[in-house]
Amino acid sequence: MATKKLWAKPTTIIQVGECRVCNKPITNDMSFLAFHDKTHAHFECDRKQYFKQLIKDKNEKRLPQN
């Protein structure tokens, strides 16, 4: 038996804030991350930035330190 839904999904779209990676607006119907310092980022923007940083760190470790 299905349980009764206790909350209603919001139908109004509001702006949450700006993405800290691409500086574009984020609305509540998009997938986004909220950080402790009260900033937000699109999920895809943060993912791309994370992988760019990983590649950069990996390449810096390969370079000889002269």
b/e burial code for range 29-42 (CB count within 10 A of at least 16 → b) = eeebbeeeeeebbb
Q: Is the pTM of this model over 0.85?
A: no
Per-residue confidence (pLDDT) for residue 15, from 0 to 100: 94
Q: What is the mean pLDDT of residues 15-39?
A: 94
18-22, 26-30, 42-46, 61-65: which has the minimum mean pLDDT? Answer: 61-65
Token pair of 44, please? 């895809």
